[in-house]
C-alpha cells in the first residue's frame, strides 16, 4: 500500500510539473516573438524576426519569481481535466475525438447546451430600440440597456464605444516560428480593408448583461443565483455565454457582434503589431495565466474587472483585447484566402473566439493565445468559463445612411514582403 501511495504521489507531481512546464514555455515564447520588431515597425515579416533565446522572456515585476507551486490552471492541478486529457481531443486540425456532451471531464470548459435556452427562431424577449429620452438616436454605447447604475458595492462601469476608422490593416501571420506551435489557420499574412465601425471599449460585464436578462427574461448564465451575478463581480466580464447569447445581447443593445477582421483590426491596428500594446509579450499587461503565475503565486486564476490593465490597451483605446476572456465574433470558422492547409473544423459548424483568456489553452499545448492574430473555434452553443464578448456597430455615414450591418471586408493575399 505504501508503494502505491508513493507511486500516486509521484504521478501527481509529474502532472503538476507538466502544467508548470507549459506555462513557462508560454512565458518564454512571449518574449521570443517580439525579438526583432518595435511598436509600429512595418519591417520584416513576423516569422523572419530575429530571435534571441529564452533570455527574452516575458516582462515581470522585480521580486516576482516563478515557482513550482505557481500553477495557474487550478482545475487541472486539482484533478479534473488535465493537460493529458485535453490533449487527447485538442489535436490541431483533426476532428475532435471526444464528445463534449458525453465526457464529464470536458464540461468544466465546454458546458453543453442547456434545455430552455433561447435559440434563433424562438425569441422569448421583446426587441428594444436604442433611443434617447427625446426620441433621438442615442450615441453608440450610450443606450440605457447597455449600461448599469452604481450599487452599494461601488461604481458600475458603463459601456462606451470608439470609432475604428475605415481602411486597410494586416491580418494573420506567415507562421509563428518560435512562438509555440500555433495553428496553420492563422496563415497567411494578408491585407484586409474594412469600413468604419464602432467597437465597445470594454468586454460586456455581468452588470451590463443583467440589464439584458432583466429586460428580456433571457436565461441567466451559469453561476448566477436567482438571476443575480456574484455581488463582487459586477464589473467582471460575463462568462458562460454562448454565441447565440452574445448575439442576442448585442441586437438588444442596438449593436451586433464584430466580424473577425473588425476584431483583429481593433486589437492590432494597421502597424501589424503582435499584441494590443506592441510586439513584446508582457505578463503585466493582460489577465493571462502568465500574469497569475507571476504575480499572485496561486493555483486559482479568475476573471478580473474590465479595464484593469491600462498599459494593455489597444492603439484605439480598447481594454482586454488580450486576456481576461475569449470573445465571440460573428464569423464562421473558415480559412483565410490563400490558406491551403486542410482543416476538418472549417465550415458552418464552428464560430470563432478571439483574444485569449485567464484560462488559457496552454494546458493542452496549443501555444500562446494572447497574440492578436490567434484564432480559436467552438460550436456556437458552447458555454465556457473563459468565454465572453463585446459588441460592435456599423458607423453612420455623413449622409445619415447607416453602413451595412456587418461592415464589409475585402481580403488581399499578402506577398512575403511586409508593407513598407
Q: Can you give the CATH number for the domain in which 372 is found? A: 3.90.1580.10
- pLDDT at position 369: 87
Alpha carbon distance 330, 378 (integer Å): 12
DSSP 410: E
Residue whose C-alpha is closest to residue 227's, from 246, 212, 237, 245: 212
Reported confidence tier of residue 69, pLDDT bands at 50, 70, 90: very low
Find, among 362, 379, 380, the residue nearest to 371 by Cα. Answer: 362
Q: Region 404-419: what's the mean pLDDT?
A: 44
391 lies in some domain = yes
Tell me if 336 sits within 8 A of 189, measured CB to CB.
no
How far apart CA 107 and CA 230 sit, in angstroms, is 21
| pLDDT for 359 | 82
Q: What is the pLDDT of residues 8-41, one digit of tens each?
A: 444 444 444 444 444 444 444 444 444 333 333 3
Mean pLDDT of all residues in 342-360:
93
Is 418 inside any structural domain? no
Q: What angle do CA 107, 113, 116 make, to 5 degrees?
A: 135
Whether 178 is covered by a domain: the verdict is yes
Tell me if 362 is assigned to some domain: yes
Q: Report the candidate in 202, 245, 266 with the shortest Cα–Cα distance to residue 382.
A: 245
- Does this model's pTM top 0.75? My answer is no
Within a domain: 420: no
In a domain, 419, yes or no: no
CA atoms within 13 A on the CB side of 98: 18
Residue 293: band (very low, low, confident or very high) from pLDDT cuts 50, 70, 90? confident
Q: Which domain holds residue 162?
A: 2-413
Residue 180 lies in a domain: yes
- Candidates 324, 312, 307; CA nearest to 277 is 312
pLDDT at 313 over 60: yes
Q: Is residue 75 classed exposed, middle or buried when 0-12, 13-18 and 19+ CB atoms within 10 A define those classes?
A: middle
Q: Could you give the number of structural domains in the chain?
A: 1
Amino acid at each position: 500500500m505504501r508503494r502505491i501511495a508513493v507511486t500516486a504521489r509521484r504521478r501527481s507531481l509529474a502532472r503538476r510539473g507538466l502544467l508548470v512546464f507549459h506555462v513557462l514555455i508560454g512565458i518564454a515564447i512571449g518574449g521570443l516573438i517580439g525579438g526583432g520588431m518595435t511598436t509600429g515597425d512595418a519591417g520584416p515579416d513576423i516569422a523572419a524576426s530575429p530571435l534571441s533565446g529564452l533570455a527574452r522572456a516575458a516582462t515581470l515585476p522585480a521580486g516576482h519569481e516563478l515557482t513550482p507551486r505557481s500553477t495557474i490552471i487550478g482545475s487541472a492541478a486539482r484533478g479534473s481535466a488535465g493537460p493529458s486529457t485535453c490533449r487527447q481531443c485538442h489535436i490541431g486540425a483533426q476532428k475532435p475525438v471526444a464528445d463534449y456532451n458525453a465526457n464529464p471531464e470536458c464540461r468544466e470548459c465546454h458546458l453543453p447546451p442547456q434545455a430552455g435556452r433561447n435559440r434563433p427562431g424562438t425569441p422569448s424577449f421583446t426587441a428594444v430600440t436604442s433611443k434617447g429620452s427625446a426620441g433621438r438616436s442615442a450615441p453608440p454605447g450610450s443606450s440605457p440597456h447597455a449600461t448599469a447604475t452604481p450599487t452599494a458595492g461601488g461604481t458600475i462601469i458603463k459601456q462606451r464605444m470608439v470609432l475604428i476608422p475605415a481602411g486597410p490593416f494586416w491580418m494573420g501571420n506567415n507562421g509563428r516560428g518560435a512562438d509555440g506551435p500555433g495553428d496553420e489557420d492563422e496563415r497567411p499574412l494578408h491585407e484586409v480593408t474594412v469600413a468604419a465601425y464602432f467597437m465597445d471599449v470594454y468586454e460586456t460585464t455581468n452588470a451590463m448583461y443583467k440589464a439584458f436578462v432583466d429586460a428580456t427574461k433571457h436565461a441567466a448564465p451559469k453561476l448566477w443565483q436567482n438571476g443575480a451575478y456574484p455581488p463582487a463581480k459586477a464589473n467582471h466580464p460575463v462568462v458562460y455565454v454562448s454565441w447565440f447569447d452574445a448575439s442576442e445581447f448585442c441586437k438588444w443593445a442596438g449593436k451586433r457582434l464584430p466580424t473577425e477582421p473588425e476584431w483583429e483590426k481593433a486589437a492590432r491596428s494597421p502597424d501589424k503589431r503582435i499584441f494590443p500594446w506592441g510586439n513584446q509579450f508582457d505578463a503585466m499587461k493582460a489577465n493571462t495565466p502568465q500574469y497569475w503565475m507571476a504575480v499572485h503565486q496561486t493555483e486559482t486564476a479568475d476573471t478580473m474587472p474590465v479595464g484593469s490593465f491600462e498599459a494593455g490597451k489597444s492603439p484605439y483605446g480598447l481594454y482586454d483585447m488580450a486576456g481576461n476572456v475569449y470573445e465571440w465574433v460573428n464569423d464562421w470558422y473558415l480559412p483565410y484566402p490563400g490558406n491551403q492547409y486542410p482543416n476538418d473544423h472549417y465550415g458552418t459548424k464552428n464560430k470563432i473566439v478571439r483574444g485569449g483568456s485567464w484560462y488559457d489553452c496552454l494546458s493542452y499545448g496549443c501555444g500562446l493565445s494572447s497574440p492578436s492574430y490567434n484564432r480559436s473555434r467552438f460550436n456556437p452553443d458552447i458555454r465556457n468559463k473563459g468565454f465572453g464578448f463585446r459588441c460592435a456597430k456599423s458607423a453612420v455615414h455623413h449622409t445619415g445612411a447607416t453602413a451595412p450591418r456587418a461592415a464589409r471586408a475585402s481580403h488581399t493575399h499578402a506577398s512575403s514582403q511586409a508593407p513598407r
